[in-house]
Structure 1
Amino acid sequence: MAGNKSLVVSILEAKCPRCREGEMFQYSPFNLAKFSKMHDTCPNCHQKYEVEPGFFIGAMYISYAMSVGLLLTIGLVLYHLFDDPELWVYLVTVSTVVVLLLPFMFRYSRVLYLYWFGGVHYQQKDTTLKQ
């Protein structure tokens, strides 16, 4: 059943878009020194992740959208639930949350960009036995 993962589960687990089994990143997002290290190819199906030179530069747009959404969400929560605190509270809160979520936003912007714009299509494993 591992070869039949759903699209959402594969994205959340940062798996290869072609086989949905191979890891895209070499290290855990909690390894702050190496969270950005990607495999060049899928360890399972050998799909090349960077489909052209500089491909992941476009992931910055997804990262930017995530950052803006995060900024707006934090701003609205602080404004409505904490009765519009002083400016320094906004700055410290937003800065802290962005720094804490940076490894996840970096990784998922790349994962989403590869899934949406990489031109890589899922190839389901053939589980039937051929004789």
Structure 2
Amino acid sequence: MKPIESSTLAMLDQRCPRCHQGPLFTHSAFNLAHFTDMPERCPVCGLVYEIEPGFYWGAMYISFAFGTGIMLVVGVLLFYLAGDPATWVYVTCVSIGVLLTCTLSLRYSRTIMLYLFGGVRYNPEWASAPTRRSVPE
């Protein structure tokens, strides 16, 4: 598989930040029983995904921002398109919107956390460049 050259496109495709080839998650986002499962290491380059214990706790803040954004977008759309409906309509629509996007919100918050705070950058020559978090040979 040819690596994705752009880090932004690799992040949107949820690929390893070092090689841009290995998947960050083992199952589909629609598999509700296992949508949070991540391999311990990248299956292509061997990068350890969990930098330290509890690393992804910081992703809660990113996920909170996603949820707040969804709430604001749904609220503004309802206000302008539905003519400021009753409060229960706001609550119901926001709840449905957040529930429908919660799996993607969690996965992308972990992906953003790894890309921004994982300390790893894309390296097209990852196979020949030694790093401290690679699989021992």
Same fold (TM over 0.5): yes
Which residue does 2:80 correspond to in 1? 80
- Is residue 113 from structure 1 mapped to residue 126 from structure 2 by the alignment? no
Paired with 1:82 and 1:2, the residues of 2 have a C-alpha distance of: 47
Give 1:4 deviation, angstroms. Answer: 4.3
SS in 1 for 2:14: coil
Which residue does 2:130 correspond to in 1? none
Q: Given that residues 4 and 124 in structure 1 are in contact (C-alpha distance below 8 angstroms), is that contact kept between their aligned partners in structure 2?
A: no
Paired with 1:31 and 1:118, the residues of 2 have a C-alpha distance of: 26
Paired with 1:7 and 1:73, the residues of 2 have a C-alpha distance of: 27
Paired with 2:4 and 2:77, the residues of 1 have a C-alpha distance of: 39
Structure 1 residue ranges without an equivalent (≥5): 127-131
Letter in 1 for 2:111: V
* 1:1-131 pair list within 5 angstroms: 2-125=2-125
Give 1:12 deviation, angstroms. Answer: 0.9
SS in 2 for 1:11: helix
CA 1:4–1:88 in structure 2 vs 1: closer, same or farther (change >3 Å)? closer
Paired with 1:100 and 1:3, the residues of 2 have a C-alpha distance of: 30
RMSD: 1.3
Q: Given that residues 56 and 110 in structure 1 are in contact (C-alpha distance below 8 angstroms), is that contact kept between their aligned partners in structure 2?
A: yes
Question: Could you give the per-residue CA deviations for residues 71-102 of structure 1, whole angstroms, max 9, x where no partner exists?
Answer: 01110000011100011111111111111101
SS in 1 for 2:49: coil
Paired with 2:5 and 2:104, the residues of 1 have a C-alpha distance of: 21
Letter in 2 for 1:67: G
SS in 1 for 2:3: helix
Q: Given that residues 4 and 21 in structure 2 are in contact (C-alpha distance below 8 angstroms), is that contact kept between their aligned partners in structure 1?
A: no
Paired with 1:101 and 1:4, the residues of 2 have a C-alpha distance of: 25
Letter in 1 for 2:98: V
Structure 2 residue ranges without an equivalent (≥5): 127-137
TM-score (normalised: structure 1) = 0.92
Aligned pair count? 126
Give 1 or 2: higher helix fraction: 1
